[in-house]
Amino acid sequence: MSIEVKDISYTYMTKTPFERQALRNVTVTIEKGEFVAIIGHTGSGKSTLAEHLNGLLTPSTGTVCVDGVNLNGKGDKVRSAKHKVGIVFQYPEHQLFAETIYEDIAFGPRNSGKSEEEVEKQVRKAMGFVGLDYDAFSTRSPFQLSGGQMRRVAIAGVIAMDPEYLIMDEPSAGLDPISRDAIFAQLSTVFKERDIAVILITHSMEEAAQYASRLLVMAKGQIAIDGKTELVFKEQRERLQEVGVDIPESIKITDLLCEKGLKLEKQAITKEQLVQYIKKAKGWS
Amino acid sequence: MLADITLGQYYPGTSFVHKLDPRTKILATMSFIIAVFLAVSATSYAVLVAFVLSVIFLARLPVLLVVKSIKPLWIIIVLTMGIHLLTGQGEVIWSWKFISVTKEGLSMGVMMSLRLVLLLMISSILTFTTSPIVLTDGIEYLLKPFKRVGVPAHELAMMMTIALRFIPTLLEETDRIMKAQMARGAEFKGGNIIARAKGMLPILIPLFISAFRRADELAVAMESRCYHGGEGRTSMHELVYRHRDLLAALAMVVLIVIIGVLKWSNGLCVI
Ligand SMILES: Nc1ncnc2c1ncn2[C@@H]1O[C@H](COP(=O)(O)OP(=O)(O)OP(=O)(O)O)[C@@H](O)[C@H]1O
Ligand SMILES: [Mg+2]
């Protein structure tokens, strides 16, 4: 059970002066149960890769298979394979359209042919996921919300489809820290409870370090590094710098502390680890 | 998904034609159009075709790109050709049952469709070699004399600039919204007209909302930079005529003279 990307390339606006190759020979397999973060400089092809994973873009060469079904085809099998992959776009709040929040979130489940009862159940669950109160919000118009609330409705619209592979393209850009943490906490719970894969595209190294077990680093349309988060941040720092990707603050702080004479037992990757190691080194805990 | 809109797309370059002042290019395009309507003989059409080809060459545009610009109107071109072929009077050169093609009809058909092709090509050369912003600048300058009779030159140009600026943005936006709704299982094909129109709502509503949001943001951004219409406004890039514009103007005069001579000096007229 996996998404298999085999040697895909993609060029935007082919045969015009604005031609631009966004992906070059990308090969990667993402299994269920993995939490993968895709990072990389802006314009490195992250969103383009994401759009290939559920068949929104068809690769110029190469294939994308979801659970063994090639997405470049027709028929019910392909359609249901595509429905397994949910994608939350960059700035998803711009895709809201319905009169009420309920209707908007119900759009996806209805399209996959669920009964009205099931749809309601999914909407309730999805609104719970993003922390919107069903009774207070379900009949309101999505256009009278704040930007952050709109974002949550849009995310709920994808969650309601019960994706087995969930792709999120910079879900936290422009969100306040509390909503962001709440969404990630929910995401972690769902990820642990159910056997799904999460693919998180982000510019925040902290998010990547904290939540992802595997890191894909993209540069110029190729996968520059693919490996375990900890190992990548520890061992590939020069390569990361080369492709213009920062490292988490906690690693920088560990280095600084080391320079100033405070040796931590291990390289801290996340904030929590950093606090823990400092406490230990200082004998505070 | 929504690509392939060539008419009016700028093809960046640094050629002689690209560097001409937009006013020169607009006026030259207009005089070429006049020349096309003056042309009556095969020789004058040959001159016009040669002229267009040399402009394409000078502008270093791919010939195919310019030829493609006739695509939106090719049906009309073929129809024009067909009607003239079938309705011409005169010497019959080919006939089958009740259909007959005359020599006059053939030459009329070729001429009329060539006229359309030339018009389309020259206007797309103008837009291929001039960025939309510069083009509207040129239009604004050329419209200035008509301000006294109430033509809001600046406002028209500003509206055009904004519209041109936002066409690609809106196309991109449509593309994005379509993808987002398709990712939620929306399908835009199949069904009767009502079902299909209903299927478009998830695209149209977000699109309208974002267009209004953008308009609003733009208005605020312009006002916060003290925009207050064309009164007393100066331009960052003043348009200046240079030597090459004189050269281009001369070329146009020569072209018009040649076409004029070919039209009015009887005896030279060969069809
Ligand atoms: N619709 C499009 N038309 C033409 N070129 C595009 C289009 N979308 C993306 N590109 C180009 O493809 C390349 C990859 O874009 P992509 O959106 O995948 O980058 P990204 O890694 O997601 O960047 P960001 O972090 O800014 O979101 C970029 O160089 C971009 O200019
Ligand atoms: Mg992106």
> Which residue's alpha carbon is nearest to atom 31 within ligand 1?
A43
Which chain B residue's Cα is nearest to A56?
A: B179
Give CA separation, B230 vs B157, B163, B235, in Å.
10, 17, 10
Closest chain B residue by Cα to residue A169: B180
The string of pLDDT tens digits covering residues B230-248 is 777 887 778 889 999 999 9
Q: A154: Cβ–Cβ under 8 A, 6 or more apart, which residues? A: A88, A92, A93, A95, A96
- Atom number, ligand 1, closest to the C-alpha of residue A221: 14
CB-ligand 1 contact for A62 (6 Å cutoff):
no
Average pLDDT of the residues in B79-104: 82
Is residue B4 very low, low, confident or very high in pLDDT (cuts 50, 70, 90)?
Answer: very low
Count CB pairs under 8 A between chains A and B.
58
Enumerate chain A positions whose Cβ falls within 8 A of a Cβ in B. Answer: 13, 16-17, 51, 54, 56, 83, 85-87, 89, 92, 94-98, 107-108, 111-112, 143, 157-158, 161
Enter the tokens of residue A58: 């068809």
Q: What angle do CA B222, B226, B232 make, to 5 degrees?
A: 110
* Residue B5: closest C-alpha in chain A: A16
Is residue A42 in contact with ligand 1, taking CB distance under 6 Å? yes
The CA A200 to ligand 1 mean position distance, Å, reads 17
Q: How confident is the model at residue B168 (pLDDT cuts 50, 70, 90)?
A: confident
Whole-number pLDDT of residue B3: 46
Question: Ligand 1, from A46, A89, A246: best to mutate by most atoms within 8 Å of Cβ?
Answer: A46
Helix (H), strand (E), coil (C) string for chain A: CEEEEEEEEEEECCCCCCCEEEEEEEEEEEECCCEEEEEECCCCCHHHHHHHCCCCCCCCEEEEEECCEECCCCCHHHHHHHHCEEEECCCHHHHCCCCCHHHHHHHHHHHCCCCHHHHHHHHHHHHHHCCCCHHHHCCCCHHHCCHHHHHHHHHHHHHCCCCCEEEEECCCCCCCHHHHHHHHHHHHHHHHHCCCEEEEECCCHHHHHHHCCEEEEEECCEEEEEEEHHHHHHHCHHHHHHCCCCCCHHHHHHHHHHHCCCCCCCCCCCHHHHHHHHHHHHCCC
- Cβ(A54) – ligand 1 distance below 6 Å: no
Domain definitions of chain A by residue range: 2-246, 248-285
> At B100, which helix (H) or strand (E)?
strand B99-102
Query: How sure is the predictor about B46, in pLDDT bands with cuts at 50, 70 and 90?
Result: very high
Mark yes or no for CB contact A158/B201 under 8 Å. no
> pLDDT (tens digit, 0 to 9) for every residue of chain A, 285 residues total?
899 999 999 999 887 777 889 999 999 999 999 999 999 999 999 999 999 998 999 999 999 999 999 998 888 899 889 889 999 998 888 889 999 999 999 999 998 888 999 999 999 999 998 888 999 999 999 999 888 889 889 999 999 999 999 999 998 887 888 888 888 888 888 888 888 999 999 999 988 998 999 999 999 999 999 999 988 988 888 888 888 888 888 888 888 888 888 888 878 888 888 888 888 888 887
**What is the layout of strands, in order, in the sheet containing A214-219?**
A85-88, A165-169, A197-201, A35-40, A214-219, A222-228
Tell me B261's DSSP state.
H
For residue B94, what is the enclosing H or E element?
A: strand B92-96
Using an 8 Å Cβ cutoff, are A266 and A242 in contact?
no
Contacts of B201 in chain A (CB under 8 A): 97
More confident residue, A30 or B99: A30
**Could you tell me what percent of chain B has a pLDDT over 90?**
38
Which pLDDT band holds residue B266 (cuts at 50, 70, 90)? low
A47 CB under 6 A from ligand 1?
A: yes
Comparing C-alpha atoms, which of B179, A97, A114 is closest to residue B187? B179
Q: Which of B51-60, B102-111, B113-122 has the lowest mean pLDDT?
A: B102-111
Position B8 scores a pLDDT of 52
The CA-atom distances, in angstroms, between B197 and each of A100, B23, B194, B203 are 20, 44, 5, 10
Chain A CB contacts of B187 under 8 Å are 111
Taking 90 as the threshold, does the pLDDT of residue B165 lie above it? no
Domain boundaries, chain B: 1-130+241-271, 132-237
Cβ of A202 less than 6 Å from ligand 1: no
A76/chain B closest Cα distance in angstroms: 12
B96's enclosing H/E stretch is strand B92-96
Kind plus residue range of the DSSP H or E element containing B198: helix B193-224
Determine the topology of domain A2-246 in CATH. Rossmann fold (3.40.50)
